[in-house]
Every structure is written in C-alpha cells, then in structure tokens.
Structure 1
Amino acid sequence: MLTKLYFVRHAHSIYTADEWKRPLSDKGFLDADKVTKLLEAEKVDYVISSPYKRAIQTVEGIAKYIGKEIIIEDGFKERILSVEPVEDFDLAVQKVWHEPSFSWIGGESNQAAQTRGIHATFQILDRFEGNNIVIGTHGNIMVLIMNFFDGKYNFEFWKELSMPDIYTLEFDNGKLRDVKRLFDI
C-alpha cells in the first residue's frame, strides 16, 4: 500500500532566539501560500507538524484547505545544535554532519536527531498507511531522515535546500520507493 510523506521545510522566518515561537517573515507567508497552492493538487489526507511556530505556519494553509487540524509531532522539530549560540553556524553544522556522534554542548548529535526523526517517521507510516501526509518540519531534521534511507542526502544536499522546500517520499509497505522534489522557490 502506497503512502506519501510530503516533507515541507518551513518558509523564511524572522530570527528570534526563541526557537518555539519564531514566526514567518512577510516573504515566508507569501511562500507558505505557494506551498498551499501546490499541495492542494496532491490529495492530502493529514497534516502533521513540528511544534515550532514557523513550521506550523508554513503548513496551516493546507490543513485549512482539507478541513483538518494539524497534528503536532515533536519528533519533527529541528535538531538542537547547541544550547548557546554558535560562532559560525555553517561550521558548527558541518562538524556534526562529518562526525555523526559528535554534539555541541547541550545539542543533539546527528545520530540522536536522526533516531528521533526516524522514530517519528515510522510511527506516521504505521498510523497513516495508504494516505498522503504533509509534514511541516525543518531543514536539518528533514535531511537527516532522508539520509537514513540514502546517504546521498547529506551536508552538501542540506546546503542546497531552499526555504521553503518540499520533498515527497513515497513508501510501499514501509519501504522507501521514490523521492521527488516537489517545490523550489
């Protein structure tokens, strides 16, 4: 039975130190409307999101369109890189990608974040088998989930993502069959 997961990396947001409440920017809201229009053609059955406001705001339009509440799933929240701001964000992310068991102080290693994301993914596949599910999420955790299935989804791939971005992962009885990019801003 085919199940499609539409992983939606959130649209552009206004930076604040509060990861949970960081909202979309004006550009982000415009792009979220584009995400909604694109997903309206996909026969979406359910919408799930990270608890972070920017992820929810990116997919709330499609939830309204299909007339269903967004299901919040902590497993799709962004990976915690560090409890303190890092000096060089790109360098800090590169290090955790090149050393999967390494974590910055108070942060998650790639291994830990990937385990969390994959656990949530398989729960969704079990619970919603045969459906089309939109998942509002974040760049790093999305690519870590994709990396579990295919190593070509790596740090270099992450750097090329747009904001927002959509990748469709198609599963047949729990096994990944196809990955397609659906959206590019």
Structure 2
Amino acid sequence: MTEILLIRHGETAWNAVKRLQGHLDIPLNAEGTRQAKALAYALQNEKLDAVISSDLQRAVQTAGEIARLQGVSTRLDAGLRERCFGGFEGQLYSDLPHLFPLEHAAWRAHDPDAEFPPGENQGETIRQFHRRIMTHITYYAKQFEGKKIAIVAHGGVLECAYRAAKDLPLDAPREVTIYNASINRFSYDQDRLLLVSWGDIAHLDADAVDEINAAINPQKH
C-alpha cells in the first residue's frame, strides 16, 4: 500500500480574484507563501519518502517549503499540471458567460468531451485531463509502493483523484470544496485509489499560524 498526500498549492493573486489559471504560470502571493510554510510545518514530523510537484511555480513554491523541512529534493512533473482551459485562461470566472456563452454552458454542464475556445494553450476535455492525471498518480503510487509521498498540484488534479476514489462519473457535479494548501489523504492498494481524509486545513487557522511563526521566529515572540 502507498500513502499519498495530495496537496493543492497555496493561494495566488489570481485565486484571490477568481481568475482562471490553468497552465498559465502564476506565483504564490504573500498569503499563499504563508500557507505553504504553515503546511510544511504541519507535515514536518511525517516522514515523506518523496515530494513530487507539478512544474508550475505555484505548486513548485508550495512543494519546496515541504521538501526543505523534509530534507529531500522536489521532483517536478509537467504531467501533474492543472487542466488546460484554452481561451478561458486568464479570464475572470464572472466574465466567462459573456465572453464564451456556449462553451461556458457546456463547461458548467460537466460535458466530459466539451472543448474550450482556442487560447495561448491547447485546452483539454475533462476526459483527456482525467486520463492524464490518473496515469501520473497511478505511476507514482506504484513506483513508491509501501511508502508515503506528497504530490503537490492543483484543484483540478485533486478533483480527479476524488472522483476516481469515489468512483464518480466524469459528468457528476463537484461535491467537495478544494482548499488552497489543504492536505488530502489517499491510499493506493491493489490497483485502487482510496480516500482516507479530505480537506484538512487546520494548520491554516489563526492559532496554528501563530504557533508556526513563534517556532520559525522565536526572537520575535
């Protein structure tokens, strides 16, 4: 059995204003950096055999904080990137119904084979994205059999894993909240991904952050 911690990157400026990122490479904002440090501190007593990350910098920065306290290097994999949204990328969510009414309606309806309008990057259907992500998660689960790993990626990546573990169809509406810098625990056993716990953000509450700050900067407390 492999233990897998699936982690969404910390907050970015685009997350804060609800602008769609996809493959566009947006860094963490100040809050996201704080979240990443709190996350790493919360995990420092768990022995991780590997820290694997999407190659987009918001994930790399988050994974780097974890890897630093674990004393390991971060393994980067472009196959763990967020879904590519084509022409939707860079737009505010609130503007999409007006800019792309037909494509937005298909997206909201969870059509597994709906395509995005052209943009800087080539968009992916839900089916294409789900296949990509589950291929990569399964690869690492098998490579690190019997070990514990962290995979730092994106909201869509976590949703793919949740759907697979719950055996949900690709056109089912999202039924969970996906938090920045959250810890989502899975296990992989006998070719099956199993959900252990979801959406742990206890390390991000005010008391936890104060404790972390005191530990990191004891001279200031």
Deviations 1:121-162 (A, max 9, x none): 11101211111111110001220232123218954335x222
- Residue 93 of structure 1 and its aligned partner are, at CA, apart by 8.9
Could you tell me how far apart the structure 1 residues matched to 2:41 and 2:148 are?
16
Q: Among 91, 113, 116, which residue is 1:104 paired with?
A: 116
Give the counterpart of 2:164 among 148, 160, 166. Answer: 148
Task: Say whether the 8 Å CA contact 2:2–2:146 is kept in structure 1.
Answer: yes
Once the two structures are TM-superposed, the CA of residue 116 in structure 1 deviates from its matched residue by 0.3
Moved more, 66-75 or 48-57: 66-75
Distance in structure 1 (CA, Å) of the matches to 2:64 and 2:108: 31
Structure 1 residue 26, shift from structure 2 partner: 0.5
Of 175, 194, 219, which residue of structure 2 is paired with 1:157?
A: 175
RMSD of aligned residue pairs (Cα, Å): 2.6
Rg (Cα) greater in structure: 2
Q: Aligned pair in 2 of structure 1 residues 182, 18: CA closer, same or farther (>3 Å)?
A: closer
Q: Distance in 2 between matches of 1:53 and 1:165?
A: 17
Secondary structure in 2 aligned to 1:98? coil
Correspondence for 1:64 among 64, 68, 77: 68
Unaligned 5+ segments in structure 2 are: 205-221
Question: Identity rate of aligned residues, in percent?
Answer: 23
Pair 1:155–1:30, CA change in 2 (3 A): farther
Q: How does 1:64-83 map to 2 (within 5 A)?
A: 64-83=68-87
Find the counterpart in structure 1 of residue 189 from structure 2: 172
Q: What's the counterpart of residue 11 of structure 2? A: 12
Is the 8 Å Cα contact of residues 22 and 84 (structure 2) preserved in structure 1? no
Q: Which residue of 2 aligns with 1:54?
A: 58
TM-score between the two structures when normalised by the length of structure 1: 0.85
Question: CA 1:146–1:176 in 2, change beyond 3 Å: closer, same or farther?
Answer: same
The alpha carbon displacement at 1:96 in A equals: 5.9
Name the structure with the higher strand share: 1
Which of residues 88, 95, 98 is equivalent to 2:96? Answer: 88
**Is contact 2:23–2:84 with CA below 8 Å preserved after alignment?**
no
Structure 1's unaligned 5+ residue stretches are none
Distance 1:20 1:82, change over 3 A: closer
Instruction: Give how far 1:182 is off.
Output: 5.6
Say whether the 8 Å CA contact 1:117–1:141 is kept in structure 2: yes
